[in-house]
Amino acid sequence: MFRLIPFLFRRRPARTPSGRPLRESAAPKLGLALSSGGARGLAHVGVLQVLEENDIEIDAIAGTSMGAYVGALWAAGFSGTELEELAAELHDRRQLWKLADPIVPPMKGLFHGLKAKAHLARSLGDLRFEDLERRLLVVAADIDTKERLVLRSGSLVDAVHASCAMPGVIAPVRLGQHRCVDGGVVEPVPVGALQKYGGVDRILAVSVVPTFSDIESGWANVGDEPVHPPLWRRATRALNRNLNLLAPGNVIDTFRQSIRAAQIRMAHDSIHRADLCLRPEHFFATWHDYSHFRKFIDAGREVATRHLEEIRALTQTHETHPSPQVVGDRVA
């Protein structure tokens, strides 16, 4: 169960999205980089909806962790509207825990992740990268060599499973000679993967990774907890800490927050290498809280709609290359 993402999607065949516009031969090829970020990554769905509604053609997609999950489903033929319908199934925590397959004793992680992988297979079946109409790149990390792995051939299910295997929570995933963990460890916003392997001229990035300014503005736990939570939250958090290894302040959370500190710095570098980076609004929610799915999707729609003209400009031929921009809320 990678990042505790509940893969509750029904099986359906891959298809070409209807109404795709024909590209002018001289138009720049546009790549889309979707960041990691747990439940907040559902904002990617809102961005995809706006791109579809405005006939913004994407030639290649790169995704890390939750970005790989959303990107793979979209590349396989799920529309943004269908993704929102499927996301509505994620708010029930009882369904989430049905996918739990604990490791006893928890030597390599808390969960195997095999039940969640099986649910993902119900959506993607045996699709391979080679079957897709758009180029898809999935970022994972080799835990032994510390390398970034850009997966672009073979099984989609295996690749997404590897990209979402959060260290300490999900056991590492074996792909050939590699032991893979969450791609957010090496490239939380996969701009570099698109630059090297995407074959595109322009890059639009979407990042839900917090920035330095987010921390300075009061998000002490790097985007998960406000500095001064209300009394009721402090009381329930104290009880939860004694019962839940994933609770704020416990071992898994401490490990995750340490990784997040490095991710913020890597993401800061990546988003400034994109031609345009959208940053959906942040609000209080834990990384595994899918009950706020509609707020996340709406945040993605809002930032994409507000900057639609800048997005359109990426698809136009320019004599001079536009300067990189980072737009959205609380940008460093």
Active site residues: 65, 182
Strand 178-182 relative to strand 202-206, pairing: unpaired
User: Which residues have CB under 8 Å from 117's CB, separation 6+?
Assistant: 2, 7, 157, 161
* Residue 331 and residue 213 in contact, taking contact as beta carbons nearer than 8 Å: yes
> Helices 43-53 and 80-87 sit at what angle, rounded to 10 degrees?
150
Q: At what angle do helices 156-163 and 114-124 cross, to 10 degrees?
A: 140
- Residue 92: how many CB atoms within 10 A of its CB? 14
**Distance between CA atoms of residues 118 and 155, nearest Å:** 13
Report the distance separating Cα 148 and Cα 20, nearest Å. 32
Q: How far is CA 307 from the centre of its chain?
A: 20
Taking a C-beta distance cutoff of 8 angstroms, is the pair 231, 237 a contact?
no
Q: Which helix (H) or strand (E) holds 180?
A: strand 178-182
Can you tell me whether residue 73 is helix, strand or coil? helix
Relative to beta strand 178-182, strand 60-64 is unpaired
* Cα separation, 194 vs 202, whole angstroms: 9
Cα torsion for 147, 149, 150, 152, to the nearest 10°? 150
138: enclosing H helix or E strand: strand 135-142
